[in-house]
Amino acid sequence: MLCCAMMACKKTNVDFTYSPAAPRAGQSVSFSNQSSSGEDWNWMFGDGATSTLKSPSHVYRQPGTYRITLQVDKKKKQTATRQITIYDTVPTFACEDTSFVVYKDYTFKAVVYNPYSYDVKYEWYLPESNTPFAQVPDTTMTNSTLHLYFTHALSNACIGLRVTLNGVTTVIEKTYAVSDRKTNSVLIRTGEADYRQRIYGSKVETPRALIERDTTVLKHEQDTMQIYNQQTFTLGTLAGKFPGIKGFHIASRKIYYRTDGLWVANLDGSYKVQIDATDCAAMTLDTKDNRIYWSNKNGMWYMPFVGSDNNKFVTEPTMLNDIKTATKIAADYELK
């Protein structure tokens, strides 16, 4: 009985290999199942094709990088996954993603068949250089991979690559459809104009002036009165606990308020901690992203909500933009 129990608890090792090591489009690739055991076999080759053979073969029709998954149990808990690069005699490039949206990181990989290890030179470029539609986070565009994110929704965002292999240069250009997407945004009022700046996690777009002032969200935004837990808070009712208070917002039993700077405290007045010592002109809270936004004479800033009981924060403020004349800030959620 002990022997059977030990055998039942033995973990299945799921693994596979393939050959040839550098297959080309149209060439048969043989997969060898190296799993120690299994109930059945379910292969997914990454291009939509599947197989239930133990060690199948497959032909990729297009060059690129594909993700292969092997499942060896019916509950789909025992799997192995790895990537395979399919080459072509003509250099090209590909991205694992098939659909694209703004402000999301993507990686494009050069696919160059080079079995003799010739010298290879890569030069990525964005053909529409006069109207940039993408940002390259790293400074180099001479590697075999290109990392970028799109900043504009376009039907024909073009990416180019020059590959020089053994003295022969090949130019590849491909176009991609990039869609917009909903996200949180910050509305900013100055004496001259209203602006909207969309926020995508750690990425932000450049503020853009709105055609019409007095948008609904900005019109009703204020930081001098708030109803929280069925209780009305005003500058007058809070002045005793928070002397010199000029504006505030409350969330999760914490109050973020501005006096001679930006502060956070527990709603009962305990653990007052200064976030920014510079005089704060306006501030708001975004309860969807759990962020504080505020402005001072140097520009606009943000940081995550403070989570600790003693209001000690571990992340430093990040500059949002260089608008120095904001008089009102509001969080919003919109598409365009």
pLDDT at 2 over 50: no
Output the CA torsion 61→62→64→65 (10° steps).
Answer: -30
Same domain, 196 and 172: no
State the Cα–Cα distance between residues 301 and 242, nearest whole angstrom: 22
Residue 2 lies in a domain: no
Residue 4 lies in a domain: no
Same domain, 272 and 164: no
Residue 215 lies in a domain: yes
Q: pLDDT tens across 98-150, in order?
A: 999 999 999 999 999 887 788 999 999 998 766 789 999 877 899 999 999 99
pLDDT at 50 over 90: yes
Same domain, 222 and 317: yes
Task: Supply the pLDDT for residue 6.
Answer: 42
In degrees and rounded to multiples of 5, residue 217 shows phi and psi of: -65, -45
The pLDDT confidence band at residue 5, using thresholds 50, 70 and 90, is very low
Residue 30 lies in a domain: yes
Strand 168-179 and strand 100-101: the pairing is parallel
Q: pLDDT tens across 231-269, in order?
A: 999 999 999 999 999 999 999 899 999 998 999 999 999
Tell me the pTM: 0.69
Number of domains, the chain: 3
Residue 142 lies in a domain: yes
pLDDT at 315 over 90: no
The pLDDT confidence band at residue 4, using thresholds 50, 70 and 90, is very low
Q: pLDDT tens across 145-189, in order?
A: 999 999 999 999 999 999 999 888 999 999 999 999 989 899 999
Check which CATH number belongs to the domain holding 170 and give it: 2.60.40.1080
Residue 230 lies in a domain: yes
Same domain, 258 and 320: yes
End residue of a domain, out of 179, 214, 235: 179
Same domain, 155 and 267: no
Residue of 318, 317, 276, 281 whose CA lies nearest to 296:
281
pLDDT at 291 over 80: yes
State the Cα–Cα distance between residues 249 and 233, nearest whole angstrom: 10
Residue 6 lies in a domain: no
Which of 52-61's residues contact partners 24+ apart within 8 Å by CB, and which partners? 55/30, 55/31, 56/31, 57/28, 57/29, 57/30, 57/31, 58/28, 58/29, 58/31, 59/26, 59/27, 59/28, 59/29, 60/23, 60/25, 60/26, 60/27, 60/29, 60/84, 60/86, 61/25, 61/26
Average pLDDT for the chain: 90
Task: Supply the pLDDT for residue 26.
Answer: 83
- Of residues 2 and 332, more confidence is placed in 332
The arithmetic mean of pLDDT across residues 40-45, rounded, is: 94
Task: Supply the pLDDT for residue 335.
Answer: 55
The arithmetic mean of pLDDT across residues 50-78, rounded, is: 91
State the Cα–Cα distance between residues 317 and 300, nearest whole angstrom: 10
pLDDT at 76 over 80: no
State the Cα–Cα distance between residues 311 and 262, nearest whole angstrom: 13
Task: Supply the pLDDT for residue 41.
Answer: 92
Same domain, 208 and 263: yes
User: Kindly report the CA angle at 109 between 108 and 111, in degrees rounded to 5?
Assistant: 140
End residue of a domain, out of 145, 179, 213: 179
Check which CATH number belongs to the domain holding 55 and give it: 2.60.40.10
Q: Token digits for 204?
A: 């932000």
DSSP character at residue 49 = -
The arithmetic mean of pLDDT across residues 40-67, rounded, is: 93
Q: Token digits for 65?
A: 């990088």
Task: Supply the pLDDT for residue 129.
Answer: 62
Q: Hey, is 219 helix, strand or coil?
A: helix
Residue of 118, 106, 63, 70 whose CA lies nearest to 85:
63
pLDDT at 202 over 90: no
Q: Token digits for 35?
A: 């799993």
Same domain, 175 and 230: no
Same domain, 325 and 258: yes
Task: Supply the pLDDT for residue 219.
Answer: 86
Same domain, 151 and 188: no
Q: pLDDT tens across 14-33, in order?
A: 999 999 988 888 889 999 99
Same domain, 157 and 224: no
Same domain, 207 and 281: yes
Which domain range does residue 309 map to?
183-334
Task: Supply the pLDDT for residue 7.
Answer: 43
Same domain, 170 and 195: no
State the Cα–Cα distance between residues 329 and 217, nearest whole angstrom: 10
State the Cα–Cα distance between residues 18 and 157, nearest whole angstrom: 35
Task: Supply the pLDDT for residue 10.
Answer: 56
